[in-house]
Amino acid sequence: MPKRVVIVGAVALGPKVACRLRRLDPDYQITVIDRDSLISYGGCGIPYYVGGDIPDIEGLYSTSSHALRDPEFFRTHKGVDIMPRVEAVRIERKEKKLLVRHLDTGQEESLDYDKLVIATGASPFKPPIPGADLPMVFTVSNLHAARAIKEKISQGQVGKAVVIGAGAIGIEMAEALTDLWGVDTTIVEMADQVLPAALGKNISKVLENHLIENGVKLMLSEKVTRIDGDTDSGVTSVETGSGTLECDLVVMSAGVRPNTGFAQEAGLAVGNSGGLLVDRGMRTSDPHIYAGGDCIEMRNQVNGENMIMPLGSLANRQGRIIANNIHGRASKFRGTVGSFCIKIFDMAAAKAGLTLSQAREIGYDPVHAVVAQSDRAHFYPSSQLMYIHLIADRRTRRILGIEAVGYQGDAVKGRVDSIAPLLQEGIDVDEVCTLETAYAPPFASAMDVINNAGNVLDNILDGRNHPMDSMEFVDAFNHDRIRVIDVREHKEAEPFTAKYGERWMNIPQSELRHRLDEIPKGKPICLVCGTGARSYECQILLNQKGFHNICNVQGGHAMILATHPGFI
């Protein structure tokens, strides 16, 4: 008798398990249920559909050969039985039965299984804000919501919008509303930065400026207290702690919660976030029940703690592992290092591992370097500056995290991807300094930016480089706590010396050895150059000459301009 496999959820993980099983054995009896009528779609593509990059919603649930991935497609092409508009009600573990309900009729039936797979994903969290249930308040939860949002905008019903939450979905939706449709969009975020769970402030500040440059308004360290409107006309405004924002549309982007209610009721073990706990074979606490995707907690391979990581890429990889194990192979999912990337207008950001604050919160003594360097050979016409933030533990020199931002997304993602697989093995700073990457001027510098980030961090850890972050620098300069020596050539420094006078000295690197007597005494001195390389060399020289109250700006003028474009 063929094995009976029942899968709950038909978006990412579920179809992957089903199709892999069918390829492993044509005799499996595979049944997939899902509450929705639209299945097997790329949910991560919703903002790009709303923003017009994907013209038709069918593009999100069609194959590369343009076949729609509907139940009939899975039946005829994959030999998989998919039951749409059916929800899981109860797992009867002892009897190996799943009680389900047909949503359109209310009829209930019982499905027998040998192996059960839970692929229920996660649902957007809706904060308990008065007015959150009004018309024109949306969560980006599925294709129906995506279609409704786009229809309202295309019909001219939206002139102003408020996005609650500056996570990835919130930012992507703000870009979609602003870029294609010209909607006056404001993001309201409780944290003091965008992407607070993903990036540190050095990189997030660059993205905040880019959002503002492209017309998105930001309200950080702010909380929505009420959504105003009525059930007939929808929303009219959003109230925050500092005022009222008129709007016609509200998008909730306040994180997600795992869909595990019926599984918890069956006694399956869950973690602190409510996600199901699984072993490396993706088995739950019941050896006959597997789970993966957004509804599970997975091991963070950098700090060893459990985390939720809602990404379709992880779900697809886990789906293959689950199918292999059901078939009798011993496949393992080791965990995640939290790799992440995002496009924001003309820029891209990526990260893997821990942020500086996350590392500090769990007990590491983190040290970080920020570098600004061309992503290609500096002489190559298409080269652009890339900013990299590299974080290590002071005692062990182990790399804890990497973040990058720049204008050429593939280059940004490529640098982070070069480090991400090594984080799980415990790569240290010295290994980043010598990491082998492919080189040709159209793609990289001979000393790649990733190697340079390692070199700078090595110098900081060894006490040769005394850095100051650009945000700390601007604050200290504005409050007259430091003096500046600009070691660039006179032409480069002239706008600053003209604006700031004696507070901003210009002593080019080539003249520094002969002008040591001009260096002011008293207040700390911060050295500035284009990207931080010349200022570091000058700091070494000054230290050798007996000047010890010296630091240099990480990333130099390039990083100052990226984080504080109005500074000059």
> What is the CATH number for 523?
3.40.250.10
Together in a domain, 99 and 159 = no
- State what percent of residues in the chain have pLDDT above 90: 87
Are 213 and 144 within one domain?
yes
Closest residue by Cα to residue 555 from 522, 537, 528: 528
Q: Residue 278 sits in a domain of what CATH number?
A: 3.50.50.60
One domain for residues 225 and 238: yes
d(CA 473, CA 479): 10
pLDDT score recorded for residue 1: 44
**In a shared domain, residues 450 and 532:** no
Q: Print the domain residue range for 283.
A: 4-122+257-327
What angle do the packed helices 201-213 and 168-179 form, to 10 degrees?
20
Distance, in Å, from the CA atom of 387 to the CA atom of 239, rounded to the nearest integer, reads 36
What is the rounded distance in angstroms from the CA atom of residue 508 to the CA atom of residue 388? 26
Say if residue 170 is in the same domain as residue 268: no
- 367 and 265 together in one domain: no
Residue 112 lies in a domain: yes
Phi, psi dihedrals of residue 351, rounded to the nearest 5°: -155, 160
8 Å CB contact between 197 and 256: no
Please report whether residue 356 resides in a domain.
Answer: yes
pLDDT tens, residue order, the chain (568 aa): 459 999 999 999 999 999 999 999 999 999 999 999 999 988 889 899 898 889 899 999 898 888 999 999 999 999 999 999 999 999 999 999 999 999 999 999 999 999 999 999 999 998 999 999 999 999 998 999 999 999 999 998 999 999 999 999 999 999 999 998 999 999 999 999 999 999 999 999 999 999 999 999 999 999 999 999 998 889 999 999 999 999 999 999 998 999 999 999 999 999 999 999 999 999 999 999 999 999 999 999 999 889 888 888 999 999 999 999 999 999 999 999 999 999 999 999 999 999 999 999 999 999 999 999 999 999 999 999 999 999 999 999 999 999 999 999 999 999 999 999 999 889 999 999 999 999 999 999 999 999 999 999 999 999 999 999 999 999 999 999 999 999 999 999 999 999 999 999 999 999 999 999 999 887 899 999 999 999 999 999 999 999 989 999 999 999 999 999 988 7
Beta carbons of 195 and 204 less than 8 angstroms apart: yes
Residues 261 and 250 in one domain: no
Q: pLDDT at position 2, please?
A: 59
Q: Is residue 237 part of a domain?
A: yes
Within-domain flag for 130:
no
Name the domain count of the chain. 4
Q: What is the pLDDT of residue 147?
A: 92
- 267 assigned to some structural domain: yes
Dist. CA 455–CA 334, nearest whole Å: 30
Question: The tokens of 173 are what?
Answer: 């939706």
Structure tokens given for 496:
């600053």
332 found inside a domain: no
The angle formed by the CA atoms of residues 444, 448 and 453, to the nearest 5 degrees, is: 140
Check whether residue 488 and residue 528 sit in a common domain. Answer: yes
Q: Is 333 contained in some domain? A: no
Element (H, E) at 211: helix 201-213
Q: Are residues 442 and 489 in the same domain?
A: no
Domain boundary among 461, 480, 510: 461
Long-range contacts of 481-485 (CB under 8 A, 24+ apart): 481/523, 481/524, 482/523, 482/524, 482/525, 482/526, 483/520, 483/522, 483/523, 483/524, 483/525, 483/526, 484/525, 484/526, 484/527, 484/528, 485/519, 485/525, 485/526, 485/527, 485/528, 485/538
* 386 and 304 housed in the same domain: no
Q: Is 334 part of a structural domain of the chain? A: no
Q: What pLDDT does 511 receive?
A: 96
Same domain? For 207 and 291 the reply is no
End position of a domain, from candidates 279, 306, 327: 327
269-289 pLDDT tens trace: 999 999 999 999 999 999 999
Of 410, 438, 461, the last residue of a domain is 461
Residues 280 and 375 in one domain: no
